[in-house]
Structure 1
């Protein structure tokens, strides 16, 4: 490994921050360039559920569970990361599908507990609408997204990282078929490698080098209450509403964890969603809507992450995905190893760009 390798990370969301922190910790000279502050644009609008749930094929499940373990390591290494393993109560599938999911993931080692209505009430006593059958995973959790991103970048700056916020990358610089830096509104920076981790903005940046990133950016609306007394113990993944209570006491919710479809009138949709959320909670008479947010989730067209170097274009690494909160610690660790040591972790094998050429 060359400790003096010059790396530019484009993007200051949770993925960019994790990649940058792991690179700086490993001894690289890292510059983060972002047209936003710490957190980027998608990360602040994240539901922030850390999990390996849902209909994942086993290889993706293994990557997600590895990253859940890496969250514990990262929170130990970086002071100030707000991480809580609060558990998740889920009934967002018909009972037969919920049971099939439980059977499959339990066989893979996921800690799923089946609960009835009374069991659900013990876990979340302030819910007014309880399912007859639900699943509880105690090992699921949350990391407050902006605070976690800021903690990573602050610690990385202490390790020598250079932060250039409020600066847009206008183009990737190519020299003899290799990416050698970035052009910005304020000038040019050279690098041995450039990492694109700019979320929804990644395709436009990659296109300046002739690289197509097959990414969609569906919107997701989440409502945020004013801070309130504690009503929820963990994540609630209901059949029409997903919600949790943040570290500062806000209850946030979407029609799913990615957020609701904002429709033609996001404010009206937000008010309806908040009313539905409030009706699901006991002792919520004084709960007030503070604001709604609409985030655009960078989602590769097949639903799985894009992580790795661009074939035929050396000096460029891509790290773009939905589920950024869950995957950030493992992606940061594995990307840093690959960038500095050319060592690709086997868990990343399915997620290179070459799969879209087939």
Structure 2
């Protein structure tokens, strides 16, 4: 977590801006928070010639990025067409990224399965599938028997149950990807200050960003700050006296250790979400179990409930053991949509905050880096600008 604080530090007379108020490629950018969004923005900036400093109170990719279901999709984003389109662009950006840096252990484009446990929920899923097909989003309606035969033989799903298969969806090993992106940025000259929190953002007499002071007492002269601090984004915004409203939404994720992983792709089954997490691990999550976190349930008990639900869907997971469990707070702006781009009242301050950080990381990284370096505001982000939140 990043520590909060408020302060204004002296103007740096050596700071340079190009016309229009955006930075030139030789300018210094502090990226606060090095999860998937911060790493993506910083990597794009560094590869295009900006001087980047990554700042994180912990280690890169080990916060909420590592404790996410990490499902790359747009099928769950149909509430607003512009948000759906942004997530489709995020999926395409992943495919491009995999071609650019190599898929390695981080990219798993194996598709996604979803089915329901009652007729009302089933009807809603099929209605969504029809909507998505009309938006040219690939979806196949299978039966449980077909899924067991073609895709996931270890599943326990009724033979005639409709199962939606989204072949273009994927899951990502977030921590591995963040490591790759930070490594590429460092190769291009980026610096990092891991294990140090941002305590102050200094504002000059003209109202623009000048400095960042860290918890170790050091002070960095910067031209731009990117707030990609995830659940701590509202604290970082507070350093410039900005109110960024965020939801308080905890989620619990459990990792199971498996001698052999019995599933091949991410899936949403009734009451439980399951996906592989490498050669010897499976990740479990459930929104139903998230709902009881604030009742004081012990994380050990929450993990037991997740494991029990998973065993009903994949009986082989009965032999697995609970390896890790974490309750993490999701980085969700108050209206549920991303906050991405410049805050006009504070030149040099930008936000990259989103619940769908895994799906949106590469596309937001590219679009925001372009905005910072050239001043060009992409229309794809028009509905998600930070200024929609009144100050």
Task: Return the TM-score normalized by structure 2.
Answer: 0.87
In structure 1, which of residues 139, 158, 178 is the aligned counterpart of residue 187 of structure 2?
Answer: 158
Take 2:291 and 2:277, find their aligned partners in 1: how far apart are those partners?
18
User: Which of residues 114, 118, 131 is equivalent to 1:104?
Assistant: 131
* Residue 153 (structure 2) pairs with residue 125 (structure 1): yes
Q: What is the deviation of 1:285?
A: 4.2
Q: 1:220 aligns with which of 224, 232, 251?
A: 251
Shift of 1:191: 1.0
Q: Distance in 1 between matches of 2:386 and 2:153?
A: 46
Q: Which runs of 4+ in 1 moved over 6 A?
A: none
Q: Distance in 1 between matches of 2:292 and 2:152?
A: 26
Of 299, 321, 324, the match for 2:357? 324
CA contact (8 A) 1:8 1:32 kept: yes
Q: Deviations over 1:282-325 (max 9, x none)?
A: 33342111121111111011111000111211110000110110
Q: Report the CA distance between 1:212 and its aligned residue.
A: 0.6
- Runs (5+) with no aligned partner, structure 2: 1-22
Indicate the SS of the match to 1:167.
coil
Per the TM alignment, residue 331 of structure 1 is displaced from its structure 2 partner at its CA by 0.4
**Residues 1-358 of structure 1 mapped to structure 2, 5 A cutoff:** 2-54=24-76, 55-79=78-102, 80=104, 82-92=106-116, 94-122=121-149, 123-130=151-158, 132-176=161-205, 177-185=207-215, 186-256=217-287, 261-262=292-293, 263-264=295-296, 265-357=298-390
Task: Give how far 1:259 is off.
Answer: 5.6
Structure 1 Cα separation of the partners of residues 127 and 26 of structure 2: 50
Which stretch of the first structure deviates more once superposed, 151-160 or 121-130?
A: 121-130
Note the C-alpha offset of 1:261: 4.3
Taking only aligned residues, the RMSD between alpha carbons, in angstroms, comes to: 1.9
Q: Over residues 263-298 of structure 1, what are the superposed CA-to-partner deviations in whole Å (9 max), with x where a residue is unaligned?
A: 412211111211221232133342111121111111
CA contact (8 A) 1:126 1:282 kept: yes
Gap regions ≥5 residues in structure 1: none
Provide the C-alpha distance between the structure 1 equivalents of 2:284 and 2:168, rounded to a whole number of angstroms.
21
Offset at 1:129? 3.2
Select the structure of larger CA radius of gyration. Answer: 2
TM-score, scaled to structure 1: 0.95
Write the distance in 2 (CA, Å) between the matches of 1:42 and 1:330.
19
